[in-house]
Amino acid sequence: MIRAEGLGKKYGIRHEAERERYTALRDVIARKTKSLARSAPDLFRRRTMVADEKIEEFWALKNVNFEIKRGEVVGIIGRNGAGKSTLLKILSRITEPSEGRVEINGRVASLLEVGTGFHPELSGRENIFLNGAILGMTRAEIRAQFDEIVAFAGVEPFLDTPVKRYSSGMYVRLAFAVAAHLEPEILVVDEVLAVGDAEFQKKCLGKMQEFSRQHGRTVLFVSHNIAAIKSLCQAGIWLNKGQIEYRGDAGSAAERYLCSGAVDVCDGLISDTHPRLYSTGAAKLRRVQIINSNNESAHTVDTGKPFDILIQWEVIKDIQSGMIEVGIIDSEGRQVTQSFSCDGGASPFPMERGLHEIWLRIDTTVFPGHYSLLAGIHTADGATIDFVERAFDFHVLNTGTGDPNHYRWGVRGYLRPTQRWRGPFVLKRER
C-alpha cells in the first residue's frame, strides 16, 4: 500500500547573525555583500528579509525507507521532534518531500491535529459532506454513512452548529468519526486522540482494530501510549532524529525505544565501573533484569500480569550467611517496594566464592509508569556488602487488567506485592 524510498524533508531555520561590537569598514562591506547574495532568492520571491540573517539546514527526515502492506497496522513511535508528524504529513500529501519518493496505492484519510480539514464557519453536518467530497466520495456514499458517523461522534445536538464553537474534544470525536467511516483504504492517525476522554479513546482503538481486521484496511498510528501501540499494532517503526532506528514487530520496537533513554543500564549487566551506592568488595552484583515468558530481557511489564526478576552476583570472599534485596524505585526516586530473600520465613544462606543467581516472581505489578530496580547483597545481620540503586529501567504499561486493590501496603510504607523467591542457585564455584 505504501512504499518510501530515500525519503527526506529539509527545512531552513533562519538565525540573525551575531553582531560584532567593533568592525572595520572592509568587514562591514564584505558582510553586506554576502548577506545580499544569500537574500537574492528571497528578493525575487518577495519574501521578508532580516538583516544579517543566516539560514541553517534542518533535516526533519533523512533517508527513510520502508514498505507497508495491505491490512497492516503500523505504530510509529519516537521522541518529540523525531519526525513522526512530518512523515505523516508527507504520506497525507500535505507537504512534499525534499528528496526521495513515496508510492501510495489507495485513498488516504488523515487525522493529524485538531481541526485538520474542517472549515470553522461550516456546521458539523456541512463539514462531514466537505470531508467526504475531499476524499472523492459521492453525496450518496456520504449519506449512507452519515447516521453512523453522527452516532459514533456523539455530537447530534450540535450537528448544525459551526464547528468553531466546538470544544477540542468534540472536534476530535467528529474528525475521527468522519475519517474512520468514509471508507478510506489507508487511515493515518496522529497523537490527536490524546485530546479525547478515556471512553472515546477506547472506542477509537476498537474502531481501528475493526477497520484493519474486518475490512483489511491499512492503519498508521502515531502515539506516545506504548500500551496502545502494543495492543493495536502488529508492526512498529521507531524514528530517531529523522531516521528509522528500528523496523519490526510492535513489541520489539517499543522495547528498543523505551530502553533508549537508559542505554547505560539497558542490557542489565553490571560491570565493575557501574555506579554503586556502596560496596565492600566481598561480593558484587553482576546482572539484574526483568525476564519475560520467552526467557528474554524485557523493559515493559503489563499491569495485572506476573513477571520475573533475575539477580546474579559474584562472591569474591566467602560469606557465612547472607541475603539478597530487590526493590522498585519510581520516576521521582522514591522506593515503592522492598523484598528480601529471607521474607516469608526463609533463612539466610551461605555464599561461597563463585557466581550465584536467584529469581523473584512478582504476581501483582505496581501502578503504570516508569521505574527502576535496585538490588543489594547483605549479611544476615543486615550489613550491606554491595548495593546498586539503578540497576535496570522498565515501564509498567496500563493495559486495563490491573486491580489497584490487590496492592498491599507494608508496615514501612512500601507496597507489598504478592511474590515468590526461587533459589539461590550456584552457577559457578571458585576453588
Question: Higher pLDDT residue, 44 or 120?
Answer: 120
The pLDDT of residue 297 is above 50: yes
Is 335 part of any domain?
A: yes
Per-residue confidence band for 416, with pLDDT thresholds at 50, 70 and 90: low
pLDDT in tens, 206-259: 777 777 777 778 888 887 777 778 778 888 998 888 889 889 888 788 777 776
Per-residue confidence band for 40, with pLDDT thresholds at 50, 70 and 90: low
Mean pLDDT of the chain: 79
Q: Judge if 406 and 382 occupy the same domain.
A: yes
Is 169 part of any domain?
A: yes
Parent domain of 21: 9-59
Is 2 part of any domain?
A: no
Looking at residue 13, what is its pLDDT? 74
Contact between residue 368 and residue 399 where contact means Cβ atoms under 8 Å apart: no
Looking at residue 196, what is its pLDDT? 58
Q: Judge if 278 and 242 occupy the same domain.
A: no
Contact between residue 163 and residue 124 where contact means Cβ atoms under 8 Å apart: yes
Count of the separate structural domains present in the chain: 3
The pLDDT of residue 361 is above 60: yes
Q: Judge if 194 and 271 occupy the same domain.
A: no
Per-residue confidence band for 155, with pLDDT thresholds at 50, 70 and 90: confident
Instruction: Decide which of 261, 288, 308 is a domain's last residue.
Output: 261
pLDDT in tens, 128-140: 888 778 767 788 8
Is 308 part of any domain?
A: yes
Q: Judge if 276 and 226 occupy the same domain.
A: no
Q: Judge if 165 and 135 occupy the same domain.
A: yes
Looking at residue 43, what is its pLDDT? 53
Is 123 part of any domain?
A: yes
Per-residue confidence band for 405, with pLDDT thresholds at 50, 70 and 90: very low
Instruction: Decide which of 210, 231, 261 is a domain's last residue.
Output: 261
Q: Where does residue 7 fall: left (phi above 0), alpha (psi -120 to 50 degrees), or beta otherwise?
A: beta
What is the value of pTM for the model shown? Answer: 0.58
Q: Judge if 365 and 423 occupy the same domain.
A: yes
Instruction: Decide which of 246, 261, 276 is a domain's last residue.
Output: 261
Per-residue confidence band for 35, with pLDDT thresholds at 50, 70 and 90: low
Q: Judge if 275 and 202 occupy the same domain.
A: no
Q: Judge if 208 and 306 occupy the same domain.
A: no
What is the CATH number for 317? 2.70.50.60
Is 193 part of any domain?
A: yes
The pLDDT of residue 263 is above 50: no
Q: Judge if 217 and 244 occupy the same domain.
A: yes
The pLDDT of residue 410 is above 60: no
Question: Higher pLDDT residue, 385 or 262?
Answer: 385
Looking at residue 390, what is its pLDDT? 81
Question: Higher pLDDT residue, 407 or 351?
Answer: 351
pLDDT in tens, 299-314: 888 877 788 999 999 9
Is 347 part of any domain?
A: yes
Q: Judge if 416 and 343 occupy the same domain.
A: yes
Q: Judge if 115 and 48 occupy the same domain.
A: no
Q: Judge if 23 and 70 occupy the same domain.
A: no
What is the CATH number for 95? 3.40.50.300
Is 1 part of any domain?
A: no
